[in-house]
Structure 1
Amino acid sequence: MERIRIVPGRINVLMLIIVAVLWMGSCKDQPAIDENIVLWTPYNDSTEIAANQSHDNPRMRYKLIQSRVLDKNDVFRPLYQKVSRFSEASYERLKPMILEQDIPALQAFVKEGKLSYEELVLFYLYRIYHYELDNETTLNTIIALNREVVEEARKKDKERKEGQHPIYGMPVLLKDNIDTEGMNTTAGALVFTNNTTDDAFIVEQLKAKGALILGKVNLSEWAYYLCDGCPVGYSAYGGQTLNPYGRKIFETGGSSAGSGTSMAANYAVAAVGTETSGSILSPSSQNSVVGLKPSIGLLSRTGIVPISSTLDTPGPMTRNVTDNAILLDAMMGKDSQDVSSVAQDFGVNWFQNLGSTTLKGKRFGAFSNLLESDSIYKMTLDKMAAAGAEIVVLDPPTVPLDGFISILNLDMKVDLPAYISDHVMNKKDITVREVADIMQYNLQDSLLRIPYGQGRFNAIVSDSTSMEALKAIKSNLESQTRAYFNEAIDDNQLDAILSINNYHAAYAAVAKYPALTIPMGYKATGEPISLTFIGKQFEEAKLLQLGAAYEKINKVRQTPEQYQ
């Protein structure tokens, strides 16, 4: 059989079906079509790169857009035949039932026999192939797919019964610093290209409740703790993630860039991100999706490539609050391997009855400087007040976060080697053992491996802060930032404090407090902006209730125009 080539562009489904039929009818000794077909071809992105050199934001003056190492054919070939048999007519029939729907609605359609989990998976795969194989629409978001996901979905259809967790049968995408059996965990770094692992604790929890792991998504390399001032959403392995609301116009946010962009573009039901300081809140805000940074300890970190065991946490990223609560609940569980992990017996129901909450009588703190500087923030708070909420204007004290960077530097110096020791299975292939080793590896080909440098890695190895001083920094910053929030909340009897995007992410991070960001609107340019709720430790249930009430009166999220 001759080599079949598909010119990059939107997939012609009819052509794919014809190719599949021809292959099935060809002689048996011919090689499988997946080994021959070219679904994607690299392109010359120099013109696009040159055009962005005049961008107002220096971080968006890219040095590359597409990955120099990842062949998308390797990602997309294994499932190609299954996706090619999913017709455009099936896609259009299912679209009203799936696109932008929440998990309870999807489960209701399945129960009624109108939708199967297999169809749900194929619907999302169809979208992913349609947009990610076209160089004019790709977001460089999907960097791995679960080859068994269609069969797994079919099995879920057969085993479905009443009483299962709502996440059952739902396709979920994972940030590629989360260990997943059967898919390598790269953290976006070339040195980890072949990193094989078992499942992270939260992935075990998801699978135990019946979730379908659809694939892995791009991220800022090493969770944006590699280079200084470089583009967010960039990794040497996956290339430059792009924002569906404005490709090469708006930042994706980082480091969970792929989790945010995949949710915005409707590539799955839900996604998991991770945050040290702003890495869930930022990409959720930039992509007009709902993101929760939980209290440290609510979700396990075991099996996640670390920056800081003090501040790291995974968290749910979804298109609505209900799905966020469901995904959060599905990942929870006491992990004996994580010293910060807590038993989640808070006497709450995380996802039921969210719709019954109202804003009436709820008290919120609003930052005076944000009210003065941001009209969307002010209009949103006026709308909340009209719905019965009480807004208390705050003039918070200035809290310098002295030593914050040393927490990240010294934790990563210890925590990354521990991850490699405990979780990397193929140590003969992954020969690095600590940050200094990775730096030496990167310097062997700096153009390919570190085109934006490795300034933050340099800071890790040069930070001379003592362990005793670090302990004091952690204690002081936690107490100072908790006082920053607690005094405002307690003195004014507030239910939550309201911020914008990830503006106060560092404060919530060192306080180890939860923060929930929800779409608030769009700037005149079309760039998304979000409202962020911050509460006290382990008040996630309260924040989700408040977020659901807010979402009812200000449901502003729009599907990106090019991805409808």
Structure 2
Amino acid sequence: MRAVRLLAPLALLAAPLAAQDARPNGDYPVEEKSISELEAAMQSGETTSAAITQRYIDRIAAMNHAGPELNAVIAVLPGALEEARRRDAERAAGRSGQMLGIPVIVKDNIETKGPVPTTAGSYALENNVTDRDAPLVAKLREAGAVILGKANLSEWANFRSNDSTSGWSAVGGLTRNPYALDRNTCGSSSGSAVAAAASLAAGTVGTETDGSITCPASSNGIVGLKPTLGLVSRRFIVPISHSQDTAGPMTRTVRDAAIMLGAMAGVDPGDPATAAAAGRVSNYAGLLGRDVLKGLQIGVPRDRVGDDAALTAKFEEALDVLRAQGATVVDIDESREATEGVGEAEFQVLLSEFKADMADYLQGLPDNDVTAKTLADLIAFNEADKARELRYFDQSLFLEAQKQGDLTDPKYLKARETAKRLAGQMGIDKMLADAKVTVLALPTRSPVWLSTLGEGDSFSGPSASGLPAQAGYPHLTVPMGLIDGLPVGISFIGTAWTDDFLLQVGDAYERASKARVPPRYLPTVGQ
């Protein structure tokens, strides 16, 4: 059913353009091309958006369910080529712009116009055709982007079971890591990360509650930005937690992330959290290229680095790059003491908000064939469809969330206050102030593990994602090279609304380190 129901547009779209655009610029290579390079090639007349879009469609056909079988893309949108042709007509009429004609893939928990459902990877939402754009998608279109398709993800954004395998969904199957096909992709924005790494689109959009942009970005050798909560609208996105959910760009370069963020960010009257973004949205890409590392004080919470010798050595190499550009690295010791208990508080917040926010989302859908209206309905659906939905792991998190009270429950309210205070005021803000530093740096995560469906994930070592996710602060990860053939990233973390500065720091590090290595689609590594 998956190949016919959701990927039919791929077969329908692959052929028409080949005849219409069979000319030299139709052969323009898209692999590893940045958004800026693609835009310049279109502006010069070397190629067109329609030709570029066709090349990405061809690449998806060759690599997604054929070749290395990456399983990164659930669907190609049936209007993508027509949208690309409209962008070419707009350019011919004199329009310009950094995102004009640029093909983008969005995670399949983000709604898009057209006949393709937004599934969050679950057959419970197989008929979730809303025919509406999430505001962030509408903004991308307004900036001239071509919305190419929907990316696979960890089902329900990895909030169904403690024993889940990241990168798997019932609808999309298991996403494979392009650096070693037997390795995990991390999650939940697995398909978005792999699609960006493998050049299946110019850029992609992921979502994060805690680590769902930054971990897959690090694990698949790309840049990922989890913005300050409220900088990008969350409306018409399948939720987990309104206290922590946000969408962000996933790209091969920091500049591309900055370009996409500039298109996505802004106030949405339908998302109250974005009111704080008024006056804060910048020309993020226009701020890059500066010598911001000279004299910069960067804090390293040493008790959060972990004891993985190879990861620590790679991180020290990255710090040496920062020092060589004029930065001062300041060690921060015993940072965990002030934030003890934040993880437990966060978990309570996620359980409570998931139950409430999911009901709000389901009950707010337009009239379609989605019958589930509550979390209890989803639980019942999974029980009735165990062969597909519960094949590899259970729904323990669903069941635990269903036990929670409503959002007036004192237990929830206390947990929400505790998580925000410990992660923000007593966590990131305290570290920055006490050490007199502007930004924090950490390894994003250790290299990924083997994908073992039915056996869960084998997370090891610390993660940099917790505090910025819980506080709602920005978190940028940038590739810092390979360990035994597998990518790892360096995280830059700041206080609220410092997204622009983190991008400048990440850009300066990226230019100095040139650490990203493109994927080779090897069957495995280390043998």
Q: Do they superpose with TM above 0.5?
A: yes
User: Given the alignment of the two structures, is residue 440 of structure 1 paired with residue 380 of structure 2, yes or no?
Assistant: yes
Equivalent runs, 1:144-543 vs 2, <5 Å: 144-160=75-91, 164-182=96-114, 183-197=116-130, 198-248=132-182, 250-342=183-275, 343-346=277-280, 348-369=282-303, 370=305, 373=308, 374-395=312-333, 396-398=335-337, 399=339, 400-401=341-342, 402-426=344-368, 429-451=369-391, 452-463=393-404, 467-482=409-424, 483-501=426-444, 503-524=463-484, 526-543=485-502
Partner of 2:509: 550
Shift of 1:467: 1.6
Preserved CA contact (<8 Å) 2:113 2:133: yes
Preserved CA contact (<8 Å) 1:83 1:125: no
Preserved CA contact (<8 Å) 2:7 2:76: no
Preserved CA contact (<8 Å) 2:14 2:54: no
Shift of 1:438: 0.8
Secondary structure of residue in 2 paired with 1:79: helix
The answer to which of 397-406 and 222-231 deviates more is: 397-406
Matched residues in 1 for 2:361 and 2:72: separation?
25
Shift of 1:104: 2.0
Preserved CA contact (<8 Å) 1:446 1:453: no
Preserved CA contact (<8 Å) 1:91 1:123: no
Count of aligned pairs between the two proteins = 489
Cα offsets for 1:133-191 (capped at 9, x unmatched): 41x41111111111121121112111116564311110000100001111210010001
Cα offsets for 1:528-560 (capped at 9, x unmatched): 100010000010000011111111111111221
Q: Tell me the amino acid that sits aligned with residue 167 of structure 1.
A: M
Highest RCO, 1 vs 2 (Cα 8 Å, sep ≥ 6): 2
Matched residues in 2 for 1:155 and 1:464: separation?
49
Secondary structure of residue in 1 paired with 2:364: helix
Gaps (5+ residues) in structure 1?
A: 1-67
Partner of 2:459: none
Identity of aligned residues (%): 34
Matched residues in 2 for 1:145 and 1:556: separation?
31
Secondary structure of residue in 2 paired with 1:537: coil
Shift of 1:417: 1.1
Preserved CA contact (<8 Å) 2:49 2:88: yes
Preserved CA contact (<8 Å) 2:80 2:146: yes
Secondary structure of residue in 1 paired with 2:299: strand
Preserved CA contact (<8 Å) 1:172 1:270: yes
Partner of 1:81: 15
Secondary structure of residue in 1 paired with 2:286: coil
The answer to which of 267-276 and 397-406 deviates more is: 397-406
Matched residues in 1 for 2:416 and 2:170: separation?
32
Cα offsets for 1:414-465 (capped at 9, x unmatched): 1111111223430xx2111111111111111212112211111011112358
Correspondent of 1:125 among 39, 57, 65 = 57
Alpha carbons of structure 1 residues 265 and 363: separation in structure 2 relative to 1, 3 Å = same
Matched residues in 1 for 2:204 and 2:323: separation?
32
Gaps (5+ residues) in structure 2?
A: 446-462, 523-527
Q: Tell me the amino acid that sits aligned with residue 199 of structure 2.
A: N
Shift of 1:484: 1.3
Matched residues in 1 for 2:420 and 2:432: separation?
16
Alpha carbons of structure 1 residues 295 and 473: separation in structure 2 relative to 1, 3 Å = same
Alpha carbons of structure 1 residues 347 and 410: separation in structure 2 relative to 1, 3 Å = closer
Matched residues in 1 for 2:140 and 2:45: separation?
24
Shift of 1:408: 0.9
Secondary structure of residue in 1 paired with 2:215: helix
Alpha carbons of structure 1 residues 384 and 73: separation in structure 2 relative to 1, 3 Å = closer
Partner of 2:46: 114
Matched residues in 2 for 1:274 and 1:501: separation?
16
Matched residues in 2 for 1:70 and 1:404: separation?
38
Shift of 1:494: 1.3
Cα offsets for 1:199-247 (capped at 9, x unmatched): 1111111111211000001001110011222110111111111111111
Preserved CA contact (<8 Å) 2:163 2:394: no
Preserved CA contact (<8 Å) 2:84 2:101: yes
Cα offsets for 1:463-510 (capped at 9, x unmatched): 358622211111121111112111221122212101122512121111
Matched residues in 1 for 2:128 and 2:80: separation?
21
Matched residues in 1 for 2:361 and 2:61: separation?
33
Alpha carbons of structure 1 residues 322 and 531: separation in structure 2 relative to 1, 3 Å = same
Partner of 1:105: 37
The answer to which of 401-410 and 79-88 deviates more is: 79-88
Matched residues in 2 for 1:82 and 1:321: separation?
34
Shift of 1:344: 3.6
Matched residues in 1 for 2:210 and 2:121: separation?
18
Alpha carbons of structure 1 residues 190 and 225: separation in structure 2 relative to 1, 3 Å = same
Secondary structure of residue in 2 paired with 1:172: strand
Partner of 2:452: none
Matched residues in 1 for 2:81 and 2:475: separation?
35
Alpha carbons of structure 1 residues 347 and 512: separation in structure 2 relative to 1, 3 Å = closer
Shift of 1:521: 0.8
Shift of 1:356: 2.4
Preserved CA contact (<8 Å) 1:205 1:331: yes
Alpha carbons of structure 1 residues 339 and 489: separation in structure 2 relative to 1, 3 Å = same
Larger Rg: 1
User: What is the RMSD computed on CA atoms of the aligned residues?
Assistant: 2.1
Secondary structure of residue in 2 paired with 1:393: strand
Q: Tell me the amino acid that sits aligned with residue 321 of structure 2.
A: K
The answer to which of 272-281 and 445-454 deviates more is: 445-454
Matched residues in 2 for 1:132 and 1:418: separation?
34
Q: Tell me the amino acid that sits aligned with residue 514 of structure 1.
A: P
Matched residues in 1 for 2:430 and 2:468: separation?
14
